[in-house]
Amino acid sequence: MSLAEPIEKVKHILNSMMGKLTGGDKRRAAGKVAVEYGTGGQTFAAEAFGMGRNTVRKGMSEVKTGEEIEDKYSLRGRKKTTEKLPELESHIRAILDSQSQADPKFQTDRLYTNLSIEEVRRQLIKQYGYTDESLPTARTLNTIVNEKGYTVRTVKKTIPKDVVPQTWDIFDNLDKVHEAAANDDTVVRLSIDTKDRVKVGEYSRGGASRVQVYANDHDFGDEFIVPFGIMNVKEKTTSIYLSETKATADFMVDRLEEYWIENGHSGTGKTLLLNADNGPENSSRRTQFIKRMIQFSIDNNTEVQLAYYPPYFSKFNPIERVWGVLEQHWDGALLDSKETIERYIETTTYDKKRLTAKIIDKVYETGVKVSAKTMRIYEQALERAAGLEKWFVRISPQKCMETLAFTVCFY
């Protein structure tokens, strides 16, 4: 009796079982069915199991001989571009290496280049005689470039060449000071900084807005405001003070004292750890700033530890992150008045906490200095870290009072 009738009855079962097989096993199973079927078995198995007759025929051969035929999938399809053009990769590397630099942070082995893929293509044609037709598409060239460890972007400088020799010692000491402060509830760590002055008026500052905004093309006005920020690093709270004039040393210390008193720290014996960027107005060599901080220490019975970041690394100062958030917040808005700027600051959040803002109307005199003779007296009240004198200064209220006991007054 022919096998056709019973096989037809169980074909769905066979199909289900065949679906679980792959590659050579499926081919050999179809070959067995074809052999058992007899005449017309190749056609039957091919139609029943959805495969070509040549595949069934190969399966029958394996069944009869008992030898499996090796599948050579790697020989199928089109050849890779690098196989057709074996020198292409080395030519691309030669072009890119001449205009590339290493990862500036040395975190990966990837190289960075500012050459576009279109320029790489032009250089391949110009330098190595390729034709436009012989080269692959821009997408394929881009894949080759990325696979070889390059990415198309401009290198950004992260470490200036002229960093001060003490840079890494400064960071090591900062880590120690910050770690000690984090575990000491008697230390209040504040981060201060002055943001670039902000033009007040209907000026275009770039950015984007969800509503149509029209701004003046030129910003020739002379009205501006200078934001000065005080950030409590532990609590992640920030107060912004807006000055209509330059943020001088006197302005900064007045704001610090105002902040210290309003937050209930004055007279409590707590220590102020102050992070700053050693700018011209708050440098540890700025005589007026140091004089005012000594007076601050005495008046509030507060030990002050000045801890500065090294040159070119001010971005590590925690409050710098607040400035970035603020810029994103007001983005393309028209900052046409001091009050508008104040409101934008007060609606800004950092670490889920609202900033506070206050406009300071007082005008401060610029260029105030302390005489060298008087400064020599004040210097005796300071404790500067050995080897890092400019970046780490301790101001003790007791030592200040003892040192200055015979001075007539503070200028």
Average pLDDT over residues 214-238: 80
Of 202, 213, 299, residue with least CA distance to 254: 299
Asked if residue 155 has pLDDT above 50, the reply is no
CA–CA separation, 329 and 321 (whole Å): 13
Taken in order 304, 310, 312, 316, is the CA torsion positive or negative? negative
Q: Which residue did the predictor score with more confidence, 368 or 117?
A: 368
pLDDT level of residue 233 (50, 70, 90 thresholds): very high
pLDDT level of residue 167 (50, 70, 90 thresholds): very high
Q: State pLDDT tens for residues 170-205.
A: 999 999 999 999 999 999 999 999 998 888 876 545
CA–CA separation, 137 and 114 (whole Å): 19
CA–CA separation, 224 and 278 (whole Å): 24
Average pLDDT of every residue of the chain: 82
pLDDT level of residue 408 (50, 70, 90 thresholds): very low
Average pLDDT over residues 324-341: 82
Q: State pLDDT tens for residues 277-324.
A: 988 999 999 999 999 999 999 999 999 999 999 998 888 999 999 998
Of 10, 9, 57, 21, residue with least CA distance to 45: 57
Taken in order 61, 63, 65, 68, is the CA torsion positive or negative? positive
Most confident of 116-125, 326-335, 349-358: 349-358
Asked if residue 43 has pLDDT above 50, the reply is yes
The predicted pLDDT at position 112 comes to: 52
Q: For the chain, which domains are there? A: 4-74 (no CATH), 81-152 (no CATH), 167-403 (3.30.420.10)
The predicted pLDDT at position 388 comes to: 96
CA–CA separation, 342 and 355 (whole Å): 10
**Cα atoms in the 13 Å half-sphere on the side-chain side of 341:** 24
Q: Lowest-confidence range among 28-42, 237-251, 382-396? A: 28-42
The predicted pLDDT at position 407 comes to: 58
Residues 360 and 242 sit within 8 Å (Cβ to Cβ): yes
Asked if residue 214 has pLDDT above 80, the reply is no
Q: Which residue has the tokens 């950004």?
A: 156
Residues 104 and 155 sit within 8 Å (Cβ to Cβ): yes
The predicted pLDDT at position 239 comes to: 97
The predicted pLDDT at position 46 comes to: 82
Q: Lowest-confidence range among 114-118, 338-342, 386-390? A: 114-118
DSSP three-state, residue 122? helix
Instruction: Report pTM.
Output: 0.60
The predicted pLDDT at position 7 comes to: 56
Asked if residue 236 has pLDDT above 90, the reply is yes
Of 364, 189, 191, 399, residue with least CA distance to 288: 364
Side chain identity at 162, as an amino acid letter? Answer: D
The predicted pLDDT at position 16 comes to: 64
Spatial CB neighbours of 116, under 8 Å, sequence gap ≥ 6:
152
CA–CA separation, 219 and 334 (whole Å): 12
The predicted pLDDT at position 10 comes to: 56
Asked if residue 70 has pLDDT above 80, the reply is no
The predicted pLDDT at position 405 comes to: 80
CA of residue 25 relative to chain centroid, distance: 53
CA–CA separation, 76 and 163 (whole Å): 58
Phi and psi at 25, nearest 5°, equal -60, -40
Residues 171 and 177 sit within 8 Å (Cβ to Cβ): no
CA–CA separation, 379 and 386 (whole Å): 14
Q: Which residues pair with residue 147 across a beta bridge?
A: none
Average pLDDT over residues 120-126: 88
- Helix ranges, 38-162 (H): 41-49, 53-65, 81-84, 88-97, 117-128, 138-147
Spatial CB neighbours of 369, under 8 Å, sequence gap ≥ 6:
287, 288
